[in-house]
Amino acid sequence: MFWSMKRLLDGETLTALAWGCAILGAGGGCDARTGLLEARQAVEEFGPVPLMDLDELHEDDLIMPCGMIGAPTVQIEKLQNGDEGGRLRDHLEAATGRKVVALMSAEIGGSNGLLPVMWAARIGLPVVDADGMGRAFPLIPQLSMELAGIAPTPCVMTDERGNVVVFRTTSGSWLERLARAATIEFGGAASSAEYSMSVAQARTATVRGSVSLAIRIGQTLANAQDDPIAELISELDAFCLVTGKVADVERHTTEGFVRGSVIVEGLGPDTGRLLRLEIQNENLVVLERGMVRASVPDLISVLDSQSARAIATERVRYGQRVTVIAMRCHPVWRTDRGLQAAGPRAFGYEFDYVPIEVLARAAA
C-alpha cells in the first residue's frame, strides 16, 4: 500500500514529538518518556508510522481517537502490553460495522500523544496529524469532538489482561461516569477509543496539525543553544509566570485522578513570590496571593529551568528548579461551549475565565 503522507514517524522524530507532547500536556497525559519508550520500541520492531493529513484520506473512512484514561501516577507504573490498540480497533470495527483506517490521539498531551503511534506501528495503520484537545484534559467529554456534536459512543475500553468493555451511552457525561468507574476497577488506568468519526467529520471536529506542532516544539528544544526557556517561550508565544523552586507538593490518587497542588517559591528576580498550582491530572490554575495568574483552558506547563523540558504533574518533586509558563489554548476552548466544558467553572472554581494574554498584561 502506498501512503501519501506528511512524514514518517521514526525513532528520532518520536523523540522530538515526545518533548513537544510533554509541553502541550499542561502537566497531564502521563509522562511522555513512558510513551516514547513504548513507541520507539514499536517502530524499531514494526517500522515507522506514516503521519497523514486528514485531507489525504478518503472522507468516508473511520478515524479512531484513542489513548489511556486514568491517573498518571498509576500509568507510569502500569504499562501497556502492546495489544490494546489492536483490540480497541477490532471491537470498534465490530461495534460500528466500519473499517478503521487511521488512529488519532484523543489528546496530544504527554504519553497520550505517543501511544497511538505505538499501537499504529503494531497494527500497520497510519496516524493523523490532529487530536481532540490540542493539549490534555482530565475528563473524557473535554474533547473538540464533543463540542462538534460527534457521538461519544460506541466507546471501547480494554486493559492489559484482555478484558473489554463497550459502552453505548446517551451522553458524554454518562460515558465519563461509566468509563471512569471501569478505569478504577482496572486499577486506575485503562486504554480506550471513543468519539470515532469519519474523515469528513474529523476535518472540522478536531484540533488539526497538533502532531506537527508537537514535533516542531520538540525540535526547538533539541536545537536550542543558550537559553532553551527563552527560545521555547518565543516559539510558543507563551508567558513566563515565575522562575523558582518547588517548595511543596501535595498529591493524591483518588477516583481515578491525580489531584493536588504545588507551591513554587520564586528565585532570582522572583525572590519573595509564592505561586500555587492546582492539579487534576493536568495543571488547572495558577494562583498568587489569591489572584488568578492563569487558568484552564489555557495551557500551564512546569518546565525544568535548565533544560526547558516539561515536568508532568506526577513527576514534580520538592526542590526542583522550575519555570512555570502559560500559553493560549486552541480557539475552540475559548468559545461558549468550550468554556462550559473546560473553563474554570467546569472544574468547580467559582470564577470566570480570563485569557492568559489579558491576565499577563494586567500583572505587568
Name the residues that contact its own copies, by CB under 8 A: 91, 161-170, 174, 177-178, 181-182, 184-185
Rounded distance, CA 66 to CA 131, Å?
A: 10
**Least distance (Å) from its own copies to the CB of residue 253?**
17
Rounded distance, CA 179 to CA 317, Å?
A: 30
Among the listed residues 281, 280, 272, the one whose alpha carbon sits nearest the alpha carbon of residue 349: 280
First to last CA, the chain: 55
**Least distance (Å) from its own copies to the CB of residue 193?**
14
Which lies closer to its own copies via its Cβ, residue 161 or residue 289? 161
Among the listed residues 306, 278, 317, the one whose alpha carbon sits nearest the alpha carbon of residue 294: 278
**Least distance (Å) from its own copies to the CB of residue 161?**
6
**Least distance (Å) from its own copies to the CB of residue 210?**
31
Which lies closer to its own copies via its Cβ, residue 182 or residue 207? 182
Which lies closer to its own copies via its Cβ, residue 79 or residue 181? 181
Q: ∠ CA(333), CA(326), CA(271), 5° rounding?
A: 155
**Least distance (Å) from its own copies to the CB of residue 162?**
5
CA atoms within 13 Å, Cβ hemisphere of 275: 26
**Least distance (Å) from its own copies to the CB of residue 184?**
7
**Least distance (Å) from its own copies to the CB of residue 329?**
30
Rounded distance, CA 96 to CA 121, Å?
A: 23
Yes or no: say if 247 and 272 are a contact pair by the CB < 8 Å rule: no
Number of Cβ within 10 Å of residue 319's Cβ equals: 9
Yes or no: say if 195 and 65 are a contact pair by the CB < 8 Å rule: yes
The secondary structure of 265-317 as a DSSP string is EE-GGGTT-EEEEEEESEEEEEEETTEEEEETTSEEEEEETTT--B--GGG--
Among the listed residues 324, 313, 329, 303, the one whose alpha carbon sits nearest the alpha carbon of residue 279: 313
**Least distance (Å) from its own copies to the CB of residue 83?**
13
**Least distance (Å) from its own copies to the CB of residue 295?**
29
Rounded distance, CA 57 to CA 64, Å?
A: 13
Residue carrying C-alpha cell 493529513: 53
Please write down the long-range contacts of 162-169, taking CB distance under 8 Å and 24 or more positions apart: 162/83, 162/87, 164/87, 164/91, 166/91, 166/95, 167/194, 168/95
Q: DSSP secondary-structure letter at 279? A: E
